[in-house]
DNA sequence: GCGACAG
DNA sequence: ATCTTGTCGC
């Protein structure tokens, strides 16, 4: 893929770049038939001081795992609220590059446009991949919502608001469990994003793609091979 | 100026 | 993100 931009930037440069890139994000549906959905996540390897990204490709709507890959590289930046993508995206892209089958939709562990400059890691990755992406976060970076209006049942959701703008949705993916914060990443609408997140939720708080990627990224027993054929520790 | 702050 | 055992609830 053609590099969109440099990753080693100073904090002011990174912020300026986000303002630039944010204008290119498409918040409308531009996806075709969805047959494969990918989930991505990253974990930190304390001992080796590395970042370990994982990508899991699943068939839609069955949610059967088709591919899983890991990509590890040295940590490049500290975590700075608002600049998460400059710490994690490069590693995640390395993992996604190992996919044989290209996904039709990607779910990311983090915010899409529900970000102070409207470009969280899910949106940033969407621009790099030019593939529809959805931000699936476990907590809020910016925005507020009406807690009393959110039902307890799985499937209910209310808008997430910031500066008088709807930047995402607070979605109950599982009954009586803390909601997920969903936002448009790139090339998809909020309504469609919520639809896919719910369609990919299988009784857990995290939708399957992200849940599987989260597990894989933390899997210490996983050893990369050139073929990428054999699945890791299947005994869950 | 004082908090809040994805992972 | 990560530190961490048992425990409450469906």
- Known binding residue A104? Answer is no
Say which DSSP state A144 is in: B
How far: A194 CA to C1 C1' (Å)? Answer: 26
Q: Is the CB of A109 under 7 A from strand B?
A: yes
Q: Is the CB of A110 under 7 A from strand B?
A: yes
How far: A69 CA to C10 C1' (Å)? Answer: 35
What was the pLDDT predicted at A47?
A: 83
What was the pLDDT predicted at A46?
A: 84
Buried b (16+ CB within 10 A) or exposed e, A135-153: bbbeeebbbebeeeebeee
Interface residues for strand C (CB within 7 Å) are: A 42-44, 46, 79, 109, 138, 176, 214, 218
For nucleotide B6, the protein residue with its alpha carbon nearest to C1' is: A110
- Tokens representing A165 are 């703008």
SS3 A69: strand
Structural domains of chain A, with CATH: 27-217 (3.30.2170.10)
What was the pLDDT predicted at A220?
A: 74
What was the pLDDT predicted at A20?
A: 98
Q: Are A44 and A54 in contact (CB under 8 A)?
A: no
State the helix-helix crossing angle for A121-129 and A11-22, rounded to 10 degrees: 70
Check the CA dihedral A225-A45-A122-A135 and report its sign: positive
CA distances from A108 to A88, A207, A219 (A): 11, 10, 18
Using a 7 Å cut-off to protein CB atoms, list the covered nucleotides of chain B: 5-7
Using a 7 Å cut-off to protein CB atoms, list the covered nucleotides of chain C: 1-3, 10
How far: A108 CA to B6 C1' (Å)? Answer: 11
- Percentages (nearest 5) of helix, strand, coil residues in chain A: 25, 25, 50
Q: What is the pLDDT along chain A (236 residues), one digit of tens a residue?
A: 778 999 999 999 999 999 999 999 999 999 999 999 999 999 999 888 899 999 999 999 999 999 999 999 999 999 999 999 999 999 999 999 999 999 999 999 999 999 999 999 999 999 999 999 999 999 999 999 999 999 999 999 999 999 999 999 999 999 999 999 999 999 999 999 999 999 999 999 999 999 999 999 998 776 554 334 334 332 23
Tell me the Ramachandran region of residue A143: left when phi exceeds 0, alpha when psi lies from -120 to 50, beta otherwise. left
Check the CA dihedral A180-A173-A35-A213 and report its sign: positive
What was the pLDDT predicted at A224?
A: 55
pTM: 0.93
For nucleotide C9, the protein residue with its alpha carbon nearest to C1' is: A176
Q: How many residues does chain A have?
A: 236
What was the pLDDT predicted at A219?
A: 83
d(CA A89, CA A200): 23
What was the pLDDT predicted at A235?
A: 27
SS3 A6: coil
Q: Is the CB of A115 under 7 A from strand B?
A: yes
How far: A141 CA to B4 C1' (Å)? Answer: 9
What was the pLDDT predicted at A217?
A: 96
How far: A40 CA to C1 C1' (Å)? Answer: 15
* Side-chain half-sphere CA neighbours of A6 within 13 A: 8
Measured CA to C1', the nucleotide nearest A138 is B6
């Amino acid at each position: 893929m053609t590099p969109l931009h440099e990753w080693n930037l100073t904090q002011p440069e990174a912020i300026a770049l986000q303002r630039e890139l944010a204008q290119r994000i498409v918040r409308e549906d531009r996806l075709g038939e969805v047959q494969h959905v990918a989930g991505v996540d990253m974990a930190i390897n304390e001992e080796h001081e590395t970042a370990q990204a994982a990508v899991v490709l699943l068939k839609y709507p069955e949610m059967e795992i088709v591919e899983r890959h890991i990509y590890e590289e040295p940590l490049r930046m500290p975590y700075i609220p608002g600049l998460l993508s400059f710490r994690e995206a490069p590693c995640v892209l390395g993992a996604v590059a190992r996919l044989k089958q290209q996904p039709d939709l990607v779910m990311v562990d983090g915010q899409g446009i529900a970000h102070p400059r409207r470009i969280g890691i899910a949106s940033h990755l969407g621009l790099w991949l030019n593939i529809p992406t959805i931000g699936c976060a476990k907590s809020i970076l910016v925005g507020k919502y009406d807690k009393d209006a959110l039902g307890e049942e799985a499937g209910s959701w209310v808008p997430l608001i910031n500066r008088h703008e709807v930047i995402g949705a607070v979605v109950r993916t599982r009954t009586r469990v803390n909601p997920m914060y969903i936002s448009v990443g790139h090339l998809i609408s909020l309504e469609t994003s919520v639809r896919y997140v719910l369609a990919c939720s299988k009784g857990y708080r995290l939708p399957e793609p992200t849940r599987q990627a989260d597990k894989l990224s933390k899997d210490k027993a996983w050893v990369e091979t050139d073929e990428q054929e054999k699945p890791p520790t299947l005994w869950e």
